[in-house]
Homo-oligomer: A and B are copies of this chain.
Amino acid sequence: MNNQMDNNSTPKITVLLVDDHPMVQNGLKACLAYYDDIEIIDAINDGSEALKAAMELKPDVILMDVSMPNLNGIDATEILSEQLPNTKVLIFSMHDSPEFVSSAVQAGASGYVLKDTSSEEVYYAITAVAKGNTHFSGSIAKMLIENPIQPEKNKLTTREQVILSYIAQGFSSKEVAQKLSISFRTVEAHRRNIKSKLRLESFADLVRYAINHGLVEEA
């Protein structure tokens, strides 16, 4: 830890933490407190609250979790990258699936670090994205190379999100069709498109995706 910093010359990098687990927040605060060229200006535990805080505080970097109440980190990133182009988003997630990473990059994230990375790497990643660079954890970078991003491919339409939500809640295609007053063949077509877009294989994958993306409550 290098606490020997010249506070007057270089302005600190302002960081907004967004994570719905208090203990993760505490861990990050504790780990990053040693570095005096970055300053955590606030910690939020909710996606939509994070948007408000970001608009007001205009931080240099947002360290953003993915799974959160109200608004997931990917969608929040997409909004932020339009509204606040000078604020860099660094995704901080425990998920390392290709869809997640691709979505994050397309949404405008400047980096992606896993929750099992060291605090030194998180610090390094924050400084990197603050400078306008990118930083991806080793396994993520490898994945981006092996699994190149296909732009706009894995993004669900509103209709698809609605249908996926019902499906993940346990309704059959027939039931969803009744609710939406459309043919169950149409619902099936949407199911196919959803699985194809997201490269998901099974019903269980659909449910897990829906949970991870906040389309359905976990309980």
Contacts and interface: CB of A to CB of B under 8 A. Distances in A.
Given A28-B23, A115-B22, A204-B207, A218 B67 contact: yes
Stoichiometry, copies per complex: 2
Contacts of A202: 170-172
A142 interface: no
A211 B22 CA distance: 21
A94 B20 CA distance: 10
Interface residues of A, number: 39
Given A203-B203, A204-B169, A219 B22 contact: no
B26 A31 contact: yes
10 contacts: A21-B115, A23-B24, A27-B29, A29-B30, A95-B218, A95-B219, A170-B201, A208-B211, A208-B219, A211-B211
